[in-house]
A = this chain, B = another copy of it.
């Protein structure tokens, strides 16, 4: 016997059209396998007269949110508005009215997960957000429903396609940041105002969601350290490659005991690491759990159809569960994690400097690091010399962030000028 589910869309755009098309194309298959049939009753749009690539029936489109939010027949609301408001306001209303929410909105979700989940629990509605993190990649489902018996202690994510596209081109062709960014904007791979992507904020939203889920604790967006790719130079990428490293904007979350660290910044990883071959606008999430061990999920993190694919999977999930489940944060049986030590990270560092080319210089540089307890794993002097200075690249062993900062601050400007510091993950 088929269960009929009436749904409404908040926003439409290309993702909404994609969901509509998938429900048309796979409606029979979903009904046959899962006994579910979805009916889209209302679609909230801004402009009723706009030409669309899907021929919605005349009575489906509306520009009044109440038509979606107050219709008692509508059981599930799928949201593609994006951005914090008015999306958040609408989602709260939907949940308050007992309507299950399926959202692709990482901003509203990351900023207000707590309140949304509270509203969902209160009314017994479901809250589904697979499409909000890494598009088609089923990382939320996997964390919740496949890796639930794992103590996860590490997540490395390439979760922003724009920056990965830029870094890939810089790495493969030696192009500089500004040139590639302009090209990416022309190709529609970067926004006219690229800040949210290139400054790492988009990645930080996603990391806060992933880390919260994986570590069973609230990891607020504000607690993620963020450093974007705007200051990355082609020269560092090249120097890193010479040493066997590839540069990625990595979203890193680690847990040691109850201490959690979360940071987004340009990171060198080994060029034979599975993440190193994640190129162009692809996304990937690499993680380690005590039982599953290392895993990686790779796919399209954005785009209309990949996002629509995730939305449809959430619709089916929302309609088929015996009861809606919620991740356990407060009052969970899991001990509560803390972010209070999320500042002084331990990792190897790549350091590039321009140094005077004369006897004793290397000794004096090495002493600055030794004095701070930072041990060096490799030192490479580049052949070219300019103005009596040579390029010196240092890779440290695992060291404290603060100790390394103290070491480079103590460098005598007369003998060496710091050009860049990039964190390394050796794993």
- Give residues in A with beta carbon < 8 Å to B: 18, 22-23, 25-26, 28-35, 130, 136-138, 141-142, 145-151, 216, 272-274, 276-279, 282, 284, 289-300, 303, 305-306, 308-310, 312-313, 316-317, 320-323, 325-328, 332-334
How far, in angstroms, from A323 to B130 measured CA to CA in the complex? 22
- Give the shortest distance, in Å, between A63 (CB) and chain B (any CB): 28
How far, in angstroms, from A158 to B193 measured CA to CA in the complex? 41
If A148-B316, A328-B33 touch, whether A309 touches B334 (CB-CB below 8 Å) is no
- Give the shortest distance, in Å, between A289 (CB) and chain B (any CB): 7
**Majority secondary structure, A binding face:** mixed
A292 B305 Cβ-Cβ under 8 A: yes
Which partner residue on chain B sits nearest A22 by CB separation? B149
Top 8 nearest A-B pairs by Cβ distance?
A138-B146, A136-B292, A295-B299, A291-B309, A296-B298, A28-B333, A149-B312, A291-B305
For the complex with contacts A293-B303, A295-B297, 14 further pairs of A-B residues with Cβ separation under 8 Å are: A31-B333, A32-B333, A136-B292, A138-B138, A138-B141, A146-B310, A149-B312, A274-B274, A274-B282, A294-B300, A295-B298, A298-B298, A320-B325, A321-B322
Contact partner, A145, options B28, B149, B290, B313, Cβ 8 Å: B313
How far, in angstroms, from A310 to B216 measured CA to CA in the complex? 20
| Copies of the chain in the assembly | 2
How far, in angstroms, from A323 to B1 measured CA to CA in the complex? 12
How far, in angstroms, from A288 to B322 measured CA to CA in the complex? 31
Q: Which of A292, A309, A332 has the most CB of B within 10 A?
A: A292
Hey, which chain B residues are within 8 Å of A130, CB to CB?
Answer: 146
How far, in angstroms, from A298 to B320 measured CA to CA in the complex? 28
Contact partner, A29, options B272, B278, B320, B328, Cβ 8 Å: B328
- Give the shortest distance, in Å, between A150 (CB) and chain B (any CB): 6
- Give the shortest distance, in Å, between A126 (CB) and chain B (any CB): 13
B298 A149 Cβ-Cβ under 8 A: no
How far, in angstroms, from A316 to B144 measured CA to CA in the complex? 11
A291 B149 Cβ-Cβ under 8 A: no
Hey, which chain B residues are within 8 Å of A333, CB to CB?
Answer: 28-29, 31-32
- Give the shortest distance, in Å, between A76 (CB) and chain B (any CB): 15
Hey, which chain B residues are within 8 Å of A18, CB to CB?
Answer: 291
Contact partner, A293, options B141, B300, B328, Cβ 8 Å: B300
Q: Which of A138, A300, A303, A326 has the most CB of B within 10 A?
A: A138
A33 B326 Cβ-Cβ under 8 A: yes
